Amino acid sequence: GLIQYDKASVLVFDMHNEYGFDDTASDTGMRVTGLKTKFASRVRVVGLGAGTTIRNSTPDFNLEIAMGDITPADVELLTRELNLKETTPTTLHALTVSFGRDWFRRFKGMNRDEVEVEDEKTGKVKKVPHPDSVAAWADEAGVNVMAAEALHDKLRRLFDKEYIVEKPAADSLAEIIKALEDGKHVILSFGQTYETDLDYLLVSNLLTRKIKHVWKNRTNAFRSTGKDEPRQLVIVVEEAHKLLNREMAGQTTFAAIAREMRKYYVTLLIIDQRPSQIYDEVMSQLGTRVSGWLGDESDIAAVLSGLAGRDALRGMLAHLQPKEEVLLLGWGVPMPILVRSRRYDQAFWDELLPRGGTLSAEQSMKDLGY
């Protein structure tokens, strides 16, 4: 609907490659039409990593990340995934002091070798760290050698990612942002190779951090000059609890978007089957909610947090027909509305894209109860 009615640009972090190209439904075996098929000129599908294909289809372009774009904050976000130690922030800070934006490339290039030298006093041969080793840098920078080497080991999982390169073939990060500014819609697909939580956390947070910076600057410029109003942007996040749980919410860009970015034309749309695992302060910032049947009491409580009349709403949620009904509630509607869900099939598309035209804005608002 957002794409069809051109109300906002949409960025989808498609962790499981479900949105862009055609697929087959696992429960019915029916063909499921991808957004690229229906909106070919308006949707750009981006594959993570050079040469990545999505369901045997070629994306519009591929995303590579420059080593210089990775910040210590991006790495600290991965503390749980990489099992980083409490010494990590200190070591990362020392790396940026030593090498600036080039810290990731320089750290990756360090070895763990030793060389033999002759002791000037005793004449005996001894082993010392190789000049290009982690230990040699740590000694020079005043960093604990064991902590530096431990971090080097942990970051090998990032060092080995083929989509993190010294010099990308093109500035695909800027290309994504430009497409969104121009009113296009972007589906970032992670492909079969990079469907891990580590890839999802790193790439989604890094790209969103850059988008936040651009939209904030554009909004501030618009408020100063009254020219070039920013395009409304909706960022769609799957499995949101991985980015917005209690431990990580304070570190990710997504939490900041939920709190403050509506003022800067950016809205967060999160999708999750376990809302209770999302940090309650983030849940309280989600104005409009669409919920199907939930069997877990903690999930029900999370969906209803911050809303008036929770007892009555709890009863409505408990009596929803699974896979058939959803409850629409919050800021987007004047009162909670029970909605019968429908299959994502050809009948859906025939109604969304009727040959005789589209519903007027007035009729759409009337359907929502206004």
**Mean pLDDT, range 355-364, rounded to an integer:** 57
Does pLDDT of 158 surpass 90?
yes
Residue 36 CB partners (closer than 8 Å, separation 6+): 20, 21, 43, 45, 187
Whole-angstrom distance, CA of residue 283 vs CA of residue 289: 10
Are β-strands 164-165 and 337-340 bridged in parallel, bridged antiparallel, or unpaired? unpaired
Ramachandran quadrant class, 357 (left: phi over 0; alpha: psi -120 to 50; beta: rest): left
Mean pLDDT of the chain: 87
Whole-angstrom distance, CA of residue 85 vs CA of residue 341: 46
What is the pLDDT, as a whole number, of residue 128? 83
- φ/ψ of 199, rounded to 5, equals -65, -45
Q: H or E stretch including 214?
A: helix 197-225
What is the pLDDT, as a whole number, of residue 369? 56
What is the pLDDT confidence band of residue 175, given thresholds at 50, 70 and 90? Answer: very high
Name the nearest CA neighbour of 145 among 86, 224, 91: 91
What is the pLDDT confidence band of residue 365, given thresholds at 50, 70 and 90? Answer: low
Does pLDDT of 356 surpass 50?
no
Tell me if 61 sits within 8 A of 185, measured CB to CB: no
What is the pLDDT, as a whole number, of residue 285? 82
What is the pLDDT, as a whole number, of residue 363? 62
What is the pLDDT, as a whole number, of residue 229? 92
Q: Greater confidence, 233 or 118? A: 233
Whole-angstrom distance, CA of residue 142 vs CA of residue 265: 45
Residue corresponding to tokens 């774009």: 69
Question: How many residues are listed for the chain in this entry?
Answer: 370
What is the pLDDT, as a whole number, of residue 133? 94
What is the pLDDT confidence band of residue 3, given thresholds at 50, 70 and 90? Answer: confident
Residue 96 CB partners (closer than 8 Å, separation 6+): 72, 103
Is 9-67+170-367 in CATH node 3.40.50.300? yes
What is the pLDDT, as a whole number, of residue 344? 74
pLDDT in tens, 39-67: 889 999 999 988 888 888 889 999 999 99
Does pLDDT of 241 surpass 90?
no
- Over its C-alpha atoms, the chain yields an Rg (Å, rounded) of 25
Are β-strands 114-118 and 125-129 bridged in parallel, bridged antiparallel, or unpaired? antiparallel
What is the pLDDT confidence band of residue 9, given thresholds at 50, 70 and 90? Answer: very high
Does pLDDT of 280 surpass 70?
yes
Name the nearest CA neighbour of 241 among 209, 276, 207: 276
Show the tokens assigned to 321.
């027909």
pLDDT in tens, 290-315: 999 888 889 988 888 878 888 888 88
Whole-angstrom distance, CA of residue 309 vs CA of residue 313: 6
pLDDT in tens, 198-214: 999 899 999 999 999 99
What is the pLDDT confidence band of residue 330, given thresholds at 50, 70 and 90? Answer: confident
Q: Greater confidence, 247 or 66? A: 66
Q: Where in the chain is the domain with CATH 3.40.50.300?
A: 9-67+170-367
Tell me the percentage of the chain whose pLDDT exceeds 90. Answer: 42
